[in-house]
Amino acid sequence: MKNIAIFASGTGSNAQKIIDHFRNTGLARVTVILSNKAEAGIFKIAEREQIPAVLIDKEQFFRGDTYVKLLQDLDTDLVVLAGFLWKVPANLVQAFPNRIINIHPALLPKFGGKGMYGHFVHEAVLAAGETESGITIHYVNEKYDDGGVILQERCPVTADDTPETLARKVQVLEHRWFPLIVERLLK
């Protein structure tokens, strides 16, 4: 059985889809959920699913190896960033080379980088007059939204789209593809 660690900063809808996907497969399980926000909805999911959850200490995250050791002690096979808003420190990237992935709500390299998350991305896509958007699942390196692309899936952007309607289109893609890519990488 493979072990997945999920980092999230928000409600955790992608994390829930991954948990659900692997629930009865015998292939993998989520062994820990980590978040940098005490009020994040992901903690409710962790409690309901009986998965250990950790509130990340910022100083230890960026200046120590506490979280590297934690993930190593849990025999983590894959680290999944599911709406995690901090840049992953170099020591964590180096400890898990090509074993940390992220999902981004746009077609990278466009609309990526620091501060480009959630509604900010969708607003930027609409302001640029793009005719399509989508998701990018990619490996994580020491830069924001810069690692090698694993998968991109697209959706149309229409003249009547708002950041909210575009977000819903993109989330459909996220929920469909993220668990499948996690599974593919674990096999």
- Annotated active-site positions, please? 104
**Has 13 been labeled as part of a binding site?**
yes
For the chain, the three-class secondary structure string (H helix, E strand, C coil) is CEEEEEECCCCCHHHHHHHHHHCCCCCEEEEEEEECCCCCCHHHHHHHHCCCEEECCHHHHHHCCHHHHHHHHCCCCEEEECCCCCCCCHHHHHHCCCCEEEEECCCCCCCCCCCCCHHHHHHHHHHCCCCEEEEEEEECCCCCCCCCEEEEEEEECCCCCCHHHHHHHHHHHHHHHHHHHHHHHHC
Give residues with Cβ within 8 angstroms of 95, minimum separation 6: 68, 71, 72
Instruction: Answer yes or no: is 91 a known binding residue.
Output: no
14 belongs to an annotated ligand binding site: yes
**Residues, the chain:** 187
What are the binding residues for (6R)-10-formyltetrahydrofolate? Answer: 58, 102
Extract the annotated binding site: 12-14, 58, 102
